[in-house]
Structure 1
Amino acid sequence: MVLEFEKPIADLEHKLHEMIQLAKGKNIDLSADIQSLEEKLQTLKKETFQNLTRWQRVQLSRHGDRPYALDYIYEMTNDFIELHGDRTVKDDKAMIGGLGDIDGRTVMFIGQQKGRNTKQRQERNFGMANPEGYRKALRLMKMAEKFNKPIITLIDTPGAFPGIEAEERGQGEAIAKNLREMFKLRVPVICIIIGEGASGGALGIAIGDRVLMLENTWYSVISPESCSSILWRSWDYKEQAAEALKLTGPDMKNHGLIDGIIEEPLGGAHRNMLDMAARIKQTIIKSLKELDKISPEKRIASRIEKFCSMGVVNE
């Protein structure tokens, strides 16, 4: 999958590949030309990805090859045990969770999971959780608190499922209860947006001591397309909507809505998933060391104060 703004890079990579194959096949010394083309390619990548628009970052967050929650979890830990069900309705495949080991320490992972192909996307409901998904997430959070295990949430959703059946089963109540209960958790909570962070669907597992975003992700009350359809009655203005929403990591950091940004490999997380997983893992380890020094009472008070101060305006 190649995005529109990536096409010049893809063309240059194709030319580089052809030149390398020609040199091997014809036994010709093209090392100088290859090196020159590699330098040109690296420069083009830096120029392109250092000057992305907000809409282009939204596109990268949805890239078909971008790693999902389980990709990172399986890379960061070798002993992940997935836990299922909300003990009320069923097991929501859009919301995953379970126990895994990071640097010799057991943590509770919770996250939204999308699918790679049509069958998986239908099974995972495109990463849009139902009420039972949020209730499963809360059950696992309470389990982690009971056994004094830190909680790591990996957020990647276009929003909570908006279907009638979800509303009938209490979608709003389930998300609201998660918000309330996450404020009171006595264990460290680290929330990382790894892709899309849309509306209450994201916020339902995003109340934490540390809220972080990967470089090419977005976090907003509404998607650019939905915002465009409301304001302009058309999706054609999604790029303008993305600019107006100010939904990227730097925007969120400047407004005090997140605590930090995790830099991605050049070209995006999908270019080097192993490197990206290692960066996330190191950030988690570092954050846990910082949070371990703070008492549960102080963590809870700081968590509440941080979120209550958002959106406050003094005139």
Structure 2
Amino acid sequence: MHNVDLSVTLAGMTMKNPVVVASGTFGFGREYGEFYDLSELGGICAKGLTLHRREGNPGPRIAETPMGILNSVGLQNPGVDAFIATELPFLRQYDVKVIANISGNSPEEYGVMCEKLAEAGVDMIEVNISCPNVKAGGLAYGTRPELAAEVTEVAKAHAGQVPVMVKLSPNVTDITEIARAVEGAGADALSLINTLRGMRIDVNTRRPILKMNTGGMSGPAVLPVAVRMVWEVSNAVKIPVLGMGGVSKGEDAAQMMLAGATAVAVGTACFADPYAPLKVRDGLAEIAARQGLSAVSELTGGVKPW
């Protein structure tokens, strides 16, 4: 590891390295655990949880795009209680930070889940605000500052001592406006970006390839958008940022950290190469060593804008 200190601290949570696996791309770690020791990772952000079991959307729900994929999986998951009973004990076998990702249709649902997960002892809760608010006519919480702030306040009130990280949607006019609102409501950290909304159409059948018509785009193609948004948000708030979106190698992660991220998440790259998170970690260490840094954390915020 070139004698570089890889540890980072994100909202009071110290990880042995800055590489987290992104929610929804790693399941609950069981399949990837057959490839390598999950303790090699800095953190695992588990598949998105809802209050009750959810089957997800009908297929087709994954479509390839140039340099990425579209997905409309629809948060298929066993529910928060099943996660606590079955998946959390499995993850606790490993020396890795466990981040639970939650989605709700009302602030009350977020509150209930935060309480359950805090009592169960997760290391951090990631609040997905890209889900629709039933009471606000289906508007996503993450698209309106006041809605994002409301969910954040409820999550913080029910999470006890567990840090709350809010996952921002890129599908907004000004992401810094949402970031500031969430920081003001007490968030301990921010993660960004979530997927970009996209669509593919079969020109022969004239039907969208995804059954839900549109889906979330992720993969290498979104990296420049993600880096730009991480940079903007890092300059707008004082709380730490977990950067994600198109990270597949060490250089991508270094860009995220230079833009202001404290740590990075690897998502879609895991589908093509299960070892991608470890390669990102080692690539980061090489870059830091090459630049004469004693710690990889020294990269954070190091960009020199023109």
TM-score by shorter chain over 0.5: no
Structure that is richer in helix per residue: 1
TM range (shorter): 0.3 to 0.5
Q: Which of these two proteins has the greater Rg computed from alpha carbons?
A: 1
When the two structures are superposed, what TM-score results if normalisation uses the length of structure 1?
A: 0.35
When the two structures are superposed, what TM-score results if normalisation uses the length of structure 2?
A: 0.35
Structure that is richer in strand per residue: 2
**Bigger relative CO (Cα 8 Å, ≥ 6 apart):** 2
